[in-house]
Amino acid sequence: MRPRLLLSLATLIALAPGCGSSEHSSEVTPPVAVDPPVAPSLPPRMVPPPPQAPPRRTQAQAPTATPITAPSEGTCGGLADAPRTQTFFLRQRVGLTIPRAEVHAAGHSIIAAPPSRDWREVGWAEHGEARMAVAATETRYQIHGSLIDAVRPRTHAGWSVEALGDNVVVAFPTTLVAEGSDARLATIYLRDTAHLLLAIDLVTDPTNAALGGCLALARDIARSAAVGTRALEVAARVARFERYEIDVPEGFASTIEEGPDFAVFRIERIRVSDNAPEAGLGIYSGGHASFNASGTPAVTRNLLGSDVAFYDSTEAGHHQRDALLQVESGVLHVFYGSTDASAFEVLDAAAMSLRATSAP
């Protein structure tokens, strides 16, 4: 019996610890850069100072890989012959016609909130013992101009890039390789009508890839990629979070990560280039905030009717501000930061717009 795909898609589904019932991160999460990932995974949440966007790949940076010898013909372990259905990811953001799949939130630490299914979902397509992972990511990048020109310079070494129209680009390995228990098949880039970029990664296991036909299946799936019915909200708006409201500035996406006894509301700036400064805000609501008042108290301000100390810290140009507020349900930890002074002021105004609502 062939081994089933035990995805060290730990690489694929692993996320750095987020906000959990015993700990949470007050760090701003950077958007996913326009770069086929070494495996379909989100970058770790940044500890100030935030990491820069991933550098352009060179052959020296390529992960250790073992070439896979596969016949030119085949059915990818039967997946290519399996009935296909249009499957939507990221709450109707993007659709693909794939072998029937179960779609789940990406994996996470047991003490972390599951990542938002608005921004990250993984589907498992199966047929017999053959299995393929489909990971969809909201990159929070906005790409104007030629999509293929934006993608090509950041394609992983040993991959080729093909445009399937103005708004769909697919990157393939020129030679299938085994990287641990993964064999990456393709990264699909899809741009919506607002020029916002989505990325979909296709991965199978080396044993299945060696049967042949997997790259052809990946190309067929790429041709089926279509923008779904849900648009990503980036206009200025009021967002609701538990019993609170906050003014979300224009150009920011928002989401909520729900844990068993806590939740984290996040907004993150949409970026138009790797050089654009990242900026993000989070609000943790629960009973076990990971709050460290190690910065300098910047100012005491009135938030939700209480005087609250805001602590500032700066490292390598990243300005971070944190505040902890006792509320009836536990605590609120408000945290935000950016490398850009004007973006920081926008976040500061958003934080101070936090208000309670009358309805539960």
Q: Output the average pLDDT for the chain.
A: 81
Same domain assignment for residues 127 and 19: yes
Same domain assignment for residues 335 and 252: yes
Amino acid at 35: D
* Number of domains making up the chain: 2
Q: Which two tokens stand for residue 34?
A: 């326009």
Around Cβ 234, how many Cβ atoms within 10 Å?
Answer: 19
Q: Does residue 1 fall inside a structural domain?
A: no
Same domain assignment for residues 173 and 245: no
DSSP bridge partners of 238: 247
Same domain assignment for residues 40 and 125: yes
All residues at 6 or more sequence positions from 71 whose CB lies less than 8 Å from its CB, including other chains? 211, 212, 213
Boundary-marking domain end, from 227, 248, 264: 227
- The DSSP output letter for 94 is E
pLDDT tier at 106, thresholds 50, 70, 90: low
Spatial strand order of the sheet with 355-356 comes to: 237-241, 244-248, 355-356
Same domain assignment for residues 56 and 158: yes
Same domain assignment for residues 53 and 106: yes
Whether the per-residue pLDDT at 283 is higher than 60: the answer is yes
Whole-angstrom distance between the N-terminal and C-terminal Cα of the chain?
54
Boundary-marking domain end, from 167, 194, 227: 227
pLDDT tier at 101, thresholds 50, 70, 90: confident
Section 209-216 average pLDDT: 94
Same domain assignment for residues 217 and 272: no
Range of 257's domain? 237-356
Which of residues 54 and 181 earns the better pLDDT score? Answer: 181
pLDDT tier at 4, thresholds 50, 70, 90: very low
Whole-angstrom distance, CA of residue 209 vs CA of residue 195: 33
Which one, of 230, 279, 226, 223, lies nearest residue 252 by Cα? 279
Q: Does residue 148 fall inside a structural domain?
A: yes
Section 273-297 average pLDDT: 86
Same domain assignment for residues 52 and 175: yes
Q: Which percentage of the chain shows pLDDT scores above 90?
A: 60
Same domain assignment for residues 306 and 222: no
At 126, which CATH number? Answer: 3.40.1000
Which of residues 148 and 50 earns the better pLDDT score? Answer: 148
Q: For residue 59, which phi and psi values (nearest 5 degrees)?
A: -60, -35
Q: Does residue 217 fall inside a structural domain?
A: yes
Q: Does residue 131 fall inside a structural domain?
A: yes
The answer to whether the beta carbons of residues 117 and 89 sit under 8 Å apart is no
- The DSSP output letter for 32 is P
At 275, which CATH number? Answer: 2.60.120.1690
Whether the per-residue pLDDT at 15 is higher than 60: the answer is no
Whole-angstrom distance, CA of residue 108 vs CA of residue 146: 35
All residues at 6 or more sequence positions from 146 whose CB lies less than 8 Å from its CB, including other chains? none
Same domain assignment for residues 113 and 242: no
Q: Does residue 202 fall inside a structural domain?
A: yes
Same domain assignment for residues 243 and 213: no
Q: For residue 45, which phi and psi values (nearest 5 degrees)?
A: -60, 140
Same domain assignment for residues 204 and 96: yes
Section 275-302 average pLDDT: 86
Per-residue pLDDT tens digits for 154-203 = 888 889 999 999 999 999 999 999 998 899 999 999 999 999 999 999 99
Q: Does residue 95 fall inside a structural domain?
A: yes
The answer to whether the beta carbons of residues 183 and 79 sit under 8 Å apart is no
Phi-psi region of 174 (alpha: psi -120 to 50; beta: other; left: phi over 0): alpha
Q: Does residue 2 fall inside a structural domain?
A: no
Boundary-marking domain end, from 227, 258, 273: 227
Q: Does residue 289 fall inside a structural domain?
A: yes
